[in-house]
Amino acid sequence: MTTSRKIDPAKLPVHIAIVMDGNGRWAQQRSLPRLAGHNAGMKALKKIVKAASEIGIRYLTVYAFSTENWKRSEEEVNGIFKILVYYIEKELNELNSNNVRVKILGDYSKLPAEAVDKLEISLKTTALNSGLRFNIALNYGGRAEILKAVTALADKAREDGSVPETISEEVFASQLYTGDIPDPDLVIRTGGEMRLSNFLLWQSAYSELWFTNTYWPDFTKKDFEAAIMDYQGRKRRYGGVK
């Protein structure tokens, strides 16, 4: 994917979210086990995190493991977490030296103990970094996140007697995992599917969507730049008229 245009640094999306889809099909095309696809996908992720930081994106959120992914085989699920642990161990120093701050979206406490330990080390190590905020959605589901927010607001109402009329969109959004960051301007999905798959459902209400048939392991910096340039050519009206 090539283009003669260049990214306009004055019109960068502040927050980009990515559904990293196609690892399994990438492996299948090559007669490889599915975990080989996930491993290749992790290598692609490293390149895109670096590209986002270099371009000047402030927030990057990637869909790494959904609440529905537990339905996959035990071998694949365990393998994904082992690859995740390896990635964190291998890349943490570089992420930290590049001023990247790692955050987790989702209930990662349900992951294997080794993965939880490595994630908490990465959170602590990068907590004071002020560059790219790299959000990893793990054991994450948009509907579960919304229910979590509703439950938190209901508990608050029981405790302090607050009434529904006081719940604005801003108050509700503050209870989401992304409560302290802006909604994604651009959502990218690889792998040819054209759906959100329970990813950032509330936050993506007015996000620009960009789909590609390219499987995630083959997704490159040029593809990432092409998505950004396509975004920069769109007019965002938020339901109004310009």
Q: Which two tokens stand for residue 89?
A: 């161990």
Catalytic one of 8, 23, 69, 99: 69
Amino acid making up residue 155: D
Tell which residue, 65, 87, 78, 85, has the closest CA to residue 138. Answer: 65
Catalytic one of 8, 21, 39, 185: 21
Q: Note the residue count of the chain.
A: 242
| Long-range Cβ pairs for the range 90-98 (8 Å, 24+) | 91/46, 92/121, 92/122, 92/125, 92/126, 95/49, 95/122, 95/126, 95/134, 96/125, 96/126, 96/129, 98/50, 98/53, 98/131, 98/132
- Answer yes or no: 223 catalytic: no
Tell which residue, 152, 169, 168, has the closest CA to residue 160. Answer: 152
Rounded Cα distance between 5 and 71, Å, is: 43
124: Cβ–Cβ under 8 A, 6 or more apart, which residues? none
- Answer yes or no: 139 catalytic: no
Which of the residues are catalytic?
21, 69
